[in-house]
Amino acid sequence: MPTKIDYIRKTLLGLYILSLPLSTAANNILFGLIILFWLILGDKKDTWQKIKNPLVIAFYVLYATFILSLLWSENVHQGLLILKKEGFYLALPIFMSLMKKEEIEFYLKSFLIAMFISEVSSYLVFFKIVPPFLHATQYDPVPYMGPTGHISYNPMLVLSIFLLLYFFFKKGGNLILKTLSAIFILTMTINLFITGGRAGQVAFFFILILALMQFLKPNFKSIFLVFFSVSAIFFIAYKGSTIFHERVNVAIENVQNYKQNQNTSVGMRLATWENSLRLIKDHPILGAGVGDFYKDVQGYGKVYTPKAHLLSQPHNMYIFTWAHSGIFAFLALIAIFIIELKGYFIINDKYKSIRLILSALFIIIMFSESYLSVHYTKILFIFFSAMLYKDLTFNKLKKDNS
């Protein structure tokens, strides 16, 4: 029977994931309270066992490569800022030890409630029911998560749409919940295309295909339905959403005219990728050093792309990790997703499909942004990974291999 301590623990975790899309300040305060709770009442022995979890070890190895690369970094101050930013990885076993499997649905619904509030706020601005507030504009109505909130908001919307599909197709589910899920699948999909996050919009189509292939019977009819649905959504969004229409056209134009004009939103990203790959080619083992990435890439830019304004990071988690901390950091990053995908095949429970979508979503979106460095999506991935892989062990991985 749950105790008052269990109630406090569960409530703190539920409020933590609920606050993530809504308030950075509240989210940070709740994180502090969760750590304080763990220090006073947490099961330290269980946390130690969770440190032996293969997923935790992969994250810790990744973070260790960042620390080691500080040794050959000239800009130690910048390196320490990055280490501080990525230090959240270390909390993974704490979250694993605090969560209980029977509470997963509670946390999923807490996250969906937060995204519902975000969605309603976005529509209120979009339809001019309320004037733009916080960071929202009429053109890009995303009030929360900072001035570039759409970067994190749209991937969160994609995950929310999948979770709603999960509840809609769930066997024996409540009819009211299924009806609400169907309604919000529609409204969140529309909301996805009236806001400006291209990474989330691109990922949506891949995730929708993957999701429907899981929930529908694998036959010609379902395959036709999947690809018809995806094509229809793209056509309607392209014709009906000003921001989506413009951003698709701008992206195509930026790529086509890259050689003539590199100082476009896509052009600067491509130029930064190009010079980051040169850095990796020259320093494949050790990288530039965790604090020296920007300085070193700027040096390549002066030689190879002198007219381009390079970005402070390449907006690609794979390139960024390898460039600043070397090949072992890159391999540790890849190991995280290999372990999660193996976990998808090993752990057979009702949350199996969510594991696949979580990994697939981040694998896709990290080609266009360093999403495990972005505050909101980093926390989202850590929280969901802790929840879904808390009981993964090396023994289970070995049994699967045999």
What is the C-alpha to C-alpha distance for residues 70 and 164, in angstroms, rounded to an integer? 43
* Mean pLDDT, range 71-80, rounded to an integer: 93
Handedness of CA 110, 111, 114, 119 (dihedral sign): negative
**21-30, 200-209, 254-263, 344-353: segment of lowest average pLDDT:** 254-263
State the amino acid at position 294 in one-letter form.
Y
Among residues of the chain, what percentage have pLDDT more than 70?
A: 99
Q: Give the Cα separation of 326 and 330 in Å (integer).
A: 7
CA distances from 273 to 178, 268, 276, 323, 363 (A): 43, 9, 5, 10, 17
What pLDDT is recorded for position 243?
Answer: 85
pTM across the whole model: 0.94
The helix/strand/coil state of 138 is: coil
Task: HSE, CB side, 13 Å, CA atoms: give it for residue 57.
Answer: 10
**Is pLDDT of 310 > 80?**
yes
Q: Show the tokens assigned to 229.
A: 């649905």
pLDDT tens digits, one per residue of 130-173: 999 999 998 889 999 888 888 999 999 999 999 999 999 887 77
CA-to-CA separations, 34 to 39, 251, 332, in angstroms, rounded: 9, 42, 27
DSSP 8-state class, residue 221: H
In three-state secondary structure terms, 235 is helix
Residue bearing tokens 């500080």: 70
CA separation, residue 125 to residues 155, 197, 242, 294, 379 (Å): 20, 17, 15, 37, 27
Looking at per-residue pLDDT, the higher value among 397 and 97 belongs to: 97
Structure tokens at 375: 């505050």
* 187 — pLDDT class (breaks 50, 70, 90): very high
Alpha helices in 130-282 (DSSP H): 150-169, 175-192, 198-215, 220-240, 242-256, 265-282
CB 352 within 8 A of CB 361: no
Query: What pLDDT, on the 0 to 100 scale, is given for residue 191?
Result: 93
Please give the share of the chain, as a percent, with pLDDT higher than 90: 74
Smallest CA-to-CA distance from 193 within 156, 251, 231, 236 is with 236
Here the tokens at position 172 are 């024996």
Token pair 């609400």: residue: 180
- Give the pLDDT score at 352: 94
Collapse the DSSP code of 148 into the 3-class scheme (helix H, G, I; strand E, B; otherwise coil) and give the result.
coil
How far is residue 21's CA from residue 142's CA, in Å, rounded to a whole number?
A: 10
